[in-house]
Amino acid sequence: MFVCHCGKNIAGTVDVARVSEALARHPGVVYATHHEYMCSEPGQELLRRAIREHRLTGAVVAACSPSMHETTFRRAAASAGLNPYLVEIANIREQCSWVHEGPAATDKAIRVARTMVEKVKGNHPLTPVEVGHAEKCLVVGGGIAGIQAALDVADAGFEVLLVEKSPTIGGRMAQLSETFPTLDCSQCILTPKMVEAAHHPRIRLLTYSEVEEVSGFIGNYHVRIRKKPTYVNPDRCNLCGECAKVCPIRVPSEFDCGLSERAAIYIPFPQAVPSSYTLDEGSCLGLVPLRCGECAKVCEPRAIDFDMHEELLEEDVGAIILATGYELYPKEAMAEYGHGTVPDVIDGLQFERILSASGPTRGEVRRPSDGRVPKEVVFIQCSGSRDPELHKPYCSKICCMYTAKHALLFRHAVPDGKAYVFYIDIRAGGKGYEEFVNRAMEEEGILYLRGKVAKVFRDGDKVMVWGVDTLTGKRVEVAADLVVLAQAVVPTTGAPELARKLRAAVDAHGFLQEAHPKLRPLEALTGGIFLAGAAHAPKDIPEAVAQGSGAAAKAVAILSAPVLTHSPEVAEVDEALCSGCRICAPQCPYTAITVDEVAHVNEILCEGCGTCVAACPSGAMTMRNLSDVQVQSMIRAALSEVPEPAEVKGG
C-alpha cells in the first residue's frame, strides 16, 4: 500500500499517515507507506524496491485518478517483476482530497484504498492477448470512397482486394455530370483514379463480384467472393463494339438510369474499368450459339467465351472496408409526385445523366417524354427526406447542393429557361457551398420558393406543380415541362444484408452503424471492419474521399502491426457452468460472443464492458479482474467501519 501526498494536493486534506497506518492493519496488507510524490522517480523506486524486498503479490497506489498514472505504476511494477494487472490505483485526489474536507476526507480515503486492496486480492496476473493477422485488405464497393480507400491501403504497401458488384468501378460519381461547387467534370477527375486503381500492382480488382460469406474476426477474416462470369475475356476485348450492334436485345441502361437502352452485351460507359464488354446473362437470349450467338460471330478478337464459369475465391484478409454506397429512394414511392408514372418527373441522378456530355442526350437538356428542350423546370428538394410521416426522417445532405448545381447548369444550357426550386431549408455547410447557392439564387436568376410541393400531376404535355410559398403564404402553381425530384439518399439494396454477413450493425434506415457517433466514426462495432462513403450516411464526394482515406489509415494500423494486442481484462466463460442459454450473445455490441453448446468470448473483439456478465443468469460469464466475488468484498471494504487509530503509528 503506497499512499501519495501529491505535495499538498492530497496531504493538505487527507491525513496520509493515518491512511497508511489504517491500511497497514487491513487483512492481506504486508507493507504500507506514504511518499511525497509517488509518480516521481524516487516514488516509483520505492514501489519497485518494496515489490522486490517484500515479494509483493499485489500493490495499491492511493493517488490521483487512474486515468493519470495507472500506466506509470503498472509499468514500474512490471520492471520489478510484478505482473502489471496486480497493481491498482485508489483515487484519493480527484474523488476525495480535492472535493472533501476534514476528517471525513481521511475516512473516505481509507475506505477507497481498502476497496482497491480487496480488488487486488482477487486480481489474477494477466498478459495482453496477442494474435497474428493476415496482411491483406478487402474493400467492398468500387465507388470513389472504395477506390480512395483501396489506393491508400495499397500505397501503404498492402495487398487489396477491391470487390465491386457491377461490371465497372466508378460508382455514382461516374454517373455525375459536373460536381459542386467547382463545376469540374466528374468523370474527368474520377477516371484517372479508376485507372490508377486498375493498374496498381497491389490492388486486385474483382468487378462483377460479390462477397458471399465472411467468417473470422479482426485481423483474421476469411471471405468467400463470388465472381460472376462476364463471358468476355477482358484481355482480348478491344472495345470495338460490334457485338452490341448485332445483339438483338435492348434493355434499359442501368448507367443511364433507364433513360437509354443497352444491348445484352454492353459496356456501362466508354471509360469503364476494367475496359471490357460484359454479357449480361439475365437479358441474353441464351448462352449457346444455337439460340443466338450473334455477338460471338462478329467478335474478331474471339473475346466472347460462352463457357466461362463463375469463380469462387477464398481469401484471408486482416481488415475490411465497407464502401457500398447509396441509391436514391425510388420515385415510385412518391404518391404525391405521381408514383413515378409521369415520364417528365425524374430524379436527380437521371438529370445528372441528362446533363452529362456522355449521357443519353449528349449533354443537351431534353426531356424524356418527347425529347423537347424544357423551358420551365421545377426542382423539388427534400423529396422523401425530412418526412418522418410518409418517407425518411433524415436529411439527405447532398440535395441542396446538387439541386443548386442542377438549376444552374440548366440555366447555362437553356438560357431562356426558367428554373424553380422548392425547398424547406437550405443547408450549405461546406467549403464554398454557401457562396455557390447564393450564386444560383442571385446571379443565375433561379427562383427559390420556400415551401413544400403538395402535388405533381400530368396535364397534357405539361407537368402541373402545386405548391405553397410559405414566405408569402401564397399558393404557387407552375405548369412545368420537367420536374426533378431530389430523392432521399438510401443505402444500396443488399447492403444491409451484406452488413449482416459481416456482423456489422446497421441503423434503422439501413446505413452502417459506426462504433461511436463521435469518437469512432470510421469503425464498425465489429473490430477490423471500417466504413467509408455514403454506405454510412449521406455524404458528398469530398467527405466520402476523406472517410475512405481515414478508413484506409485505420485498416493499415491493423495490417502493419506485428501482432494485434488487446487488453486481457475481458469477459470469460466457465464452460462447465454455461448452459448455452444464449442470453449473453445479443447483449454484446461487438458480436464477440458466439454460442454453440456453450458460449465463447472472442478476446480480441471483447471490449470489456461487462454487460454480458451482468446479464448472464447462471454466473458462467465472468469479468477478468472484476468478478462478482471481488466486487462483493469491495462493497464490504467500502462500508465496514474504519477502526480507531492504533496507539503506535505504523509506517
Where along the sequence are the contacts to other proteins (CB under 8 A)?
Answer: 65-67, 91, 93-96, 98-101, 104-105, 107-108, 111-112, 115, 507-508, 515-517, 525, 574, 576-583, 585-587, 589, 607-611, 613-620, 623, 626, 628, 631-632, 634-636, 638-641
Query: C-alpha cell of 267?
Result: 459496356
Q: Which residue reads 475506505 in cell numbers?
A: 111
CA atoms within 13 A on the CB side of 650: 16
- Please state the closest distance from residue 290 (CB atom) to other proteins, in A: 49
- Please state the closest distance from residue 296 (CB atom) to other proteins, in A: 50
3-state DSSP assignment of residue 43:
helix
The nearer residue to other proteins, 73 or 277, going by C-beta atoms, is: 73
Give the number of other CB atoms < 10 A from CB of residue 639: 10
Cβ neighbours of residue 486 closer than 8 Å, sequence gap 6 or more = 347, 348, 379, 380, 381, 382, 383, 385, 396, 399, 402, 403
The nearer residue to other proteins, 381 or 602, going by C-beta atoms, is: 602
The nearer residue to other proteins, 508 or 648, going by C-beta atoms, is: 508
The nearer residue to other proteins, 114 or 406, going by C-beta atoms, is: 114
Beta strands in 413-519 (DSSP E): 418-423, 447-450, 453-459, 462-469, 474-480, 482-487, 489-491, 514-516
SS (H, E, C) 297-339: HHCCCCCECCCCCCEEEEEEECEEEECCCEEECCHHHCHHHCC
The nearer residue to other proteins, 118 or 481, going by C-beta atoms, is: 118
The dihedral through the CA atoms of 13, 17, 18, 20 has a sign that is positive
Q: Given its phi and psi angles, is residue 460 left (phi above 0), alpha (psi -120 to 50 degrees) or beta?
A: left
- Please state the closest distance from residue 432 (CB atom) to other proteins, in A: 32
The nearer residue to other proteins, 183 or 631, going by C-beta atoms, is: 631
- Please state the closest distance from residue 336 (CB atom) to other proteins, in A: 27
Q: In what helix (H) or strand (E) does residue 20 lie, and over which residues does it extend?
A: helix 16-24
Convert 301-310 to b/e letters by CB count within 10 Å (16 or more is b): eebbbbeeee
The nearer residue to other proteins, 240 or 615, going by C-beta atoms, is: 615
- Please state the closest distance from residue 612 (CB atom) to other proteins, in A: 8
The nearer residue to other proteins, 240 or 595, going by C-beta atoms, is: 595
The nearer residue to other proteins, 497 or 628, going by C-beta atoms, is: 628
- Please state the closest distance from residue 587 (CB atom) to other proteins, in A: 5
- Please state the closest distance from residue 305 (CB atom) to other proteins, in A: 45
Residue 36: C-alpha distances to residues 7, 169, 263 (Å):
6, 64, 83
What distance in Å separates the CA atoms of residue 428 and residue 77, rounded to the nearest whole number? Answer: 55
The nearer residue to other proteins, 275 or 567, going by C-beta atoms, is: 567
The nearer residue to other proteins, 257 or 593, going by C-beta atoms, is: 593
- Please state the closest distance from residue 499 (CB atom) to other proteins, in A: 15
- Please state the closest distance from residue 563 (CB atom) to other proteins, in A: 24
Q: In what helix (H) or strand (E) does residue 376 lie, and over which residues does it extend?
A: strand 376-383
529 backbone dihedrals φ, ψ, rounded to 5°: -115, 130
- Please state the closest distance from residue 88 (CB atom) to other proteins, in A: 10
Cβ neighbours of residue 506 closer than 8 Å, sequence gap 6 or more = 491, 495, 496, 499, 500, 512, 513
Query: C-alpha cell of 478?
Result: 407552375
Give the number of other CB atoms < 10 A from CB of residue 247: 22
DSSP 512: B
- Please state the closest distance from residue 108 (CB atom) to other proteins, in A: 5
Q: Do the strands 319-322 and 136-140 form a parallel or antiparallel pair, or are they unpaired?
A: parallel
